[in-house]
């Protein structure tokens, strides 16, 4: 029997279940193909996230496990991420168009791409997919591997797929997965609450 963790956040104020229950796993099922319908729904949610002046400055590189593109993204990952992320059914690179096609800076683009990534992860979770966003990757390696134009900045890589068996994970991953979920108190994040 596989070991399943209850990772629901213990919030100070009730929030939507889909938000409280969403968490970033490092344990993916390396055999189960990605649920294509759920994946498309998560991408559609990202498409409908808000953006400044409706510029929609996000772009994505999507690679399914078993493809050369997936291997290239895995190769761009740094350290610990290379150990667990290859099992994900797909890897999604989120890019921000920080300079438009006329050379004008888009200072809000990274924030907007982050919103698209958040919408993606929430919809994916609501549809039964596991996700984990990563900052441990080489943007330069991704640029080279996929000939990414300089006006696009890689913001994050998201592992997405079916939840795996915690008991089958290596000890370092099990320890991280079992650690308590913690956030600093809300009052410490509010610089002003007038």
CA distances from 56 to 19, 126, 146, 153 (A): 23, 23, 21, 14
What residues are paired with 160 via a beta bridge? 90, 131
What residues are paired with 134 via a beta bridge? 157
pLDDT of res. 5: 60
Mean pLDDT of 168-177: 80
* DSSP assigned state of 154: E
pLDDT of res. 2: 45
Closest to 43 measured CA to CA, from 98, 117, 109: 117
- Judged by DSSP in three states, 6 sits in coil
Q: How many CB atoms lie within 10 A of CB 170?
A: 11
Each domain of the chain, given as residue ranges in start order, spans 21-180
CB 131 within 8 A of CB 159: yes
Calculate the average pLDDT of the chain.
92
pLDDT of res. 109: 98
- Backbone φ and ψ for 183, nearest 5 degrees, come out as -140, 150
Residue 142's Cβ-side half-sphere holds a number of Cα atoms within 13 Å equal to 28
CA distance 94 to 102: 21
Pick the CATH number of 21-180 from 3.40.50.620, 3.40.50.1000, 3.40.109.10, 3.40.1190.10: 3.40.109.10
User: 41-58: per-residue pLDDT in tens?
Assistant: 999 999 999 999 999 999
| Least confident among 19-33, 40-54, 102-116, 166-180 | 166-180
pLDDT of res. 125: 95
10 burial (CB, 10 Å; 0-12 / 13-18 / 19+) is exposed
CA distances from 26 to 13, 73, 117 (A): 27, 16, 17
Most confident of 128-132, 175-179, 185-189: 128-132
Chain center to CA of 128: 14
């Amino acid at each position: 029997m596989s070991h399943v963790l209850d990772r629901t956040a213990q919030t100070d104020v009730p929030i939507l279940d889909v938000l409280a229950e969403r968490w970033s796993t490092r344990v993916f099922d390396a055999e189960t193909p990605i649920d294509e319908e759920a994946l498309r729904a998560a991408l559609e949610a990202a498409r409908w996230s808000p953006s400044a002046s409706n510029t929609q400055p996000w772009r994505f590189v999507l690679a399914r496990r078993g493809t050369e593109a997936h291997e290239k993204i895995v190769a761009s990952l740094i350290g610990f991420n290379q150990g667990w992320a290859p099992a994900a059914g797909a890897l999604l690179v989120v890019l921000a168009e920080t300079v438009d096609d006329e050379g004008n800076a888009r200072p809000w683009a990274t924030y907007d791409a982050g919103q698209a990534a958040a919408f993606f992860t929430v919809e994916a979770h609501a549809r039964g997919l596991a996700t984990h966003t990563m900052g441990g990757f080489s943007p330069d390696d991704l640029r080279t591997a996929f000939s990414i134009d300089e006006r696009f900045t890689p913001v994050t890589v998201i592992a997405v797929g079916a939840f795996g068996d915690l008991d089958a994970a290596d000890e370092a991953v099990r320890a991280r997965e079992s650690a308590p979920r913690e956030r600093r108190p809300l009052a410490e994040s509010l610089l002003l609450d007038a």
